Amino acid sequence: MIGAVKEAAVVAALAMLAVSAPLAAPEEFLGVLIPRQETNLVPTVEGRLLRVFVRIGDRVEFGTVVAEIDDQPLRREADQARARLEEANAARAEAATKLAMAEDALRRVNALIQDQLVARAQVQNAEQERDLARSVLQMADARVDQQRADFARLGDRLANAKMLAPFSGTVAQRYVNPGSMVGPQTPVIRLIASERLWARFALPLDRSGDVRSGARVRIRVPDLGVETSGTVQQVSSEVDPASGMIFCEAVVESPARWEGPPLAGQTIRVSVEH
């Protein structure tokens, strides 16, 4: 759903059109097509933008790679993290071997003390060696866990160097070009779900009884010569103070085989089907 700030901008623009633009016919109401789903694709990693695979107006499917950030610095970090993980695993294996040896030594000393062949002090020394080896192994385990987490985190960052479309839609804006430095605060493209359009239209107060939720409407895009249908989903219960109009929203049925410019943002004329 579009954000509150942009929603307010759409309402304001529609209000201005409603009070200034002449209607094509008395039974038609002025409106605009809006996407019900849109997003600015922002990278989660910092780096140099290597490639952008889409242009404004391109249709993309869910999961399509739309842009790629140079991942060579991340790969070097991942290689270093892998080396640290291998070292930690080796240290952990050595600590486990030493603990096994200390436990075996303690078992032998305990067997000898039963035959009174060693002093109690030797048993205590063996217990201390076992406890020390156990502590070293615990620290080695913790280091392995930390290095494994670091390596996994870098793997996620590497995967995120490829920016994927979160839903199927149309590229509405391309903000930066390859070579630019980007990061979590830098939008790269704006994607709108072009098949999920809504029609927002203004209804004069004296025609407020003409439209109800569930009503079928005819939607015309004069500038593109496109016509389609829709179903009213929402009718405002309040009058917009700026225009004195009531705003309605309808789910739009996408025009069949439409291959023209994006429909979102287009001014429309809406009439109620009887």
CATH number of the domain that residue 242 is part of: 2.40.30.170
Q: Are 100 and 233 in the same domain? A: no
Q: Are 53 and 105 in the same domain? A: no
Query: In sequence order, what are the residues at sequence separation of 6 or more whose Cβ sits closer than 8 angstroms to the Cβ of residue 177?
Result: 49, 52
Q: Are 153 and 261 in the same domain? A: no
Residue in 261, 246, 254 with CA at minimum distance from that of residue 30:
246
Other beta carbons less than 10 A from residue 256's beta carbon: 6
The whole-number pLDDT of residue 75 equals 93
pLDDT digit string, tens, across residues 38-67: 899 999 999 999 999 999 888 899 999 999
pLDDT digit string, tens, across residues 163-213: 999 998 889 899 999 999 999 999 999 998 866 789 999 888 888 787 888
Q: Are 229 and 261 in the same domain? A: yes
Q: Are 181 and 49 in the same domain? A: yes
> For 26-35, 72-81, 174-183, which range has the lowest pLDDT when averaged over its residues?
26-35
Percentages (nearest 5) of helix, strand, coil residues in the chain: 40, 30, 35
Residue 9 has pLDDT above 50, yes or no: no
Q: Are 168 and 132 in the same domain? A: no
pLDDT bucket at 4, cuts 50 / 70 / 90? very low
pLDDT digit string, tens, across residues 200-254: 998 888 887 878 889 999 999 988 888 888 999 989 888 888 888 889 999 988 7
Q: Are 171 and 62 in the same domain? A: yes
Q: Are 273 and 230 in the same domain? A: yes
The CA-CA-CA angle for residues 97, 101, 103, to 5°, reads 115
Q: Are 237 and 225 in the same domain? A: yes
Furthest-apart CA pair in the chain: how many Å? 113
**How would you classify the pairing of strands 216-221 and 162-164?**
unpaired
Q: Are 210 and 264 in the same domain? A: yes
Task: Note down the domain range covering 218.
Answer: 1-37+193-274
Q: Are 270 and 215 in the same domain? A: yes
- Number of structural domains in the chain: 3
What percent of the chain is predicted at pLDDT more than 90?
51
Residue 122 has pLDDT above 80, yes or no: yes
DSSP-assigned letter for residue 253: P
Q: Are 225 and 180 in the same domain? A: no
